[in-house]
A and B are shown apart, each in its own frame.
Chain A
Amino acid sequence: EAQVTQNPRYLITVTGKKLTVTCSQNMNHEYMSWYRQDPGLGLRQIYYSMNVEVTDKGDVPEGYKVSRKEKRNFPLILESPSPNQTSLYFCASSLFGNNSPLHFGNGTRLTVT
């Protein structure tokens, strides 16, 4: 089954404790992206990647890192999480090109205390 898999689904952590949210897709998509969803703000792009070893900042990259060592994986790294990073995070992927809609993962709800 074609899908985007995120883990974990729920995560509660404390300020400053490094964490990684994994994202994997099995559709051989070149493009992958991370979004955070906050009430009243919709989805805002954190980072995106057009292919292996090619990543770039989205609209709200501060406090986040990503890597794209393999085509299928695009982990989101929070080196030192802070409470303002409490949010719902979505990973998405698509084929390269403007006619390809994004496929979303199930989301990761992160709480930083």
Chain B
Amino acid sequence: AQSVSQHNHHVILSEAASLELGCNYSYGGTVNLFWYVQYPGQHLQLLLKYFSGDPLVKGIKGFEAEFIKSKFSFNLRKPSVQWSDTAEYFCAVNLFSGGYNKLIFGAGTRLAVHP
């Protein structure tokens, strides 16, 4: 069965520290990959996405992610986090089947950034 694994459930960092959140998926076919962010009390917002082309994608607020096909990974990175990055981050894999989007989410990583 297809699945998405996020390695860390909770991450605590100080401001200006670098961030890397791991995401691996299990599916052998073509995928589209997403990172969503959920700020406290809010809905999910798209952070960045990968469909094709350059495997290093840049998103909003200084985030980037690298798609490594051989490792089935799509890790999220940010060189220097801010307190406002405190949120929960979800990796998601889009399986295109029968013309519709089946989006499978990871369990999420809760990031807390301390000033």
Contact = CB atoms under 8 A, between A and B. Distances in A.
Contacts, number: 58
Given A43-B90, A99-B51, A105 B101 contact: no
Interface in B9-42: 9, 32, 34, 36, 42
A90 B94 contact: no
B4 to A, nearest CB: 8
What range describes how many residues of A lie at the interface?
20 to 34
What does DSSP make chain B's interface, helix, strand, loop or mixed? strand
A96 B43 contact: no
Contact of A90 (B43, B46, B100, B106): B43
A106 B9 CA distance: 23
A96 B99 contact: yes
18 contacts: A31-B100, A33-B101, A42-B105, A42-B108, A44-B105, A45-B102, A90-B44, A97-B99, A98-B32, A98-B94, A98-B96, A101-B46, A102-B101, A104-B36, A104-B43, A105-B43, A106-B43, A107-B43
